[in-house]
Amino acid sequence: MAGYKGNGINPSHFDRGQIKIYIILLPLAIFMLFPLVFIFCHAFKPATELFAFPPKFYVVNPTLGNFSAMFKSAANAGIPMSKYVFNSILVTFVVCFAGIVISTMAAFALSKMKFKLRGVVFQINQAALMFVAAAVLIPRYLIISGLGMVDTYWAHILPLIAMPVSLFLIKQFVDGVPDALIEAASIDGASPFRIYRSVILPLVKPAIATGIILAFQQCWGYLDSSNNFINTESKKTLAFYMNTLANANNMVQGQGVAAAASLIMFIPNLILFIYLQKDVMNTMAHSGIK
């Protein structure tokens, strides 16, 4: 038909045949929104609703009391809350930037360069995916202590720079870059670093966006470094402070503070994902395609 674009599977405009797809997907989408709605509602519940039985999913009488109690406790603390915010922003920025640089360089080398043990290095990265943070906590401490980084910002940063998941996703994306493009740039006299900077990076932006989200989520709420590697209170992160702030209050008030703190810690993750979600979807669509 003239003017019709697309095909029967994926038409360019709404088609009645898509109704059955919406009937299946809309309930799933609404169901997946429930945790987000609960986090927001829970933060605004008064104490009577926080401890109500049976528990209530939605907030009936919203209040800002939980946030007031949280900021009041923060105001009475010896170290201002802004210091913890600064620490978290600094550590998260350095981890995201350094982690992406290392992951993209490693992905480029493992995908497009020929060298001995290339397959072994990639298999080591795959094996690293099996280890949870708790399993490597003692080796991490021994390494950080041996390097003299205990009670420094590097104790926050160093354990999180290596990102096996990010490297895997970015490498799968780099695998899809045509070798002919790399060869043409090399013939024109481009150095490997120039190829990496001018050819690879622009073509793997969706994977980089996904890596940023993964690094941010891992670092923003990370508690182990503040709990185990940092002794000076002023060098600890916002996630640690929010956790101790909720526990420092009495049981009733502490639940409200914990709910408010959870929402505050969650909002940056949500904003970042919404901003980069298009690139994330592109990465997931291409990560298994060679």
The more confident residue out of 63 and 281 is 63
Report the pLDDT averaged over residues 198-227. Answer: 88
CATH class as words, domain 82-286: mainly alpha
Q: What is the pLDDT of residue 289?
A: 45
Chain segment 106-121, per-residue pLDDT in tens: 999 998 888 888 889 8
Q: What is the pLDDT of residue 100?
A: 93
Q: What is the pLDDT of residue 11?
A: 58
Query: What is the C-alpha separation between 258 and 281, in angstroms, rounded?
Result: 32
> Closest Cα to residue 162, out of 189, 199, 200, 124?
124
Q: What is the pLDDT of residue 288?
A: 46
Report the pLDDT averaged over residues 3-24. Answer: 65
Q: What is the pLDDT of residue 94?
A: 94
Query: What is the C-alpha separation between 160 and 58, in angstroms, rounded?
Result: 36
| pLDDT bracket for residue 58 (50, 70, 90) | confident
Chain segment 159-175, per-residue pLDDT in tens: 889 888 889 888 888 88
Q: What is the pLDDT of residue 252?
A: 59
Residue 253 pLDDT exceeds 70: no
| pLDDT bracket for residue 102 (50, 70, 90) | very high
Cis upstream peptide for 159 (omega within 30°) = no
Which strand (E) or helix (H) includes residue 248? Answer: helix 238-248
Report the pLDDT averaged over residues 237-259. Answer: 75
Average pLDDT value for the chain:
82
By the 8 A CB rule, do 226 and 245 touch?
A: no
As given in the structure block, the two tokens for residue 161 are 């720079």
Beta bridge partners of 11: 6
Beta bridge partners of 6: 11
Q: What residue spans define the domains of the chain?
A: 82-286
| pLDDT bracket for residue 21 (50, 70, 90) | confident
Q: What is the pLDDT of residue 258?
A: 83
Q: What's at 155, amino acid-wise? A: A
Q: What's at 143, amino acid-wise? A: I
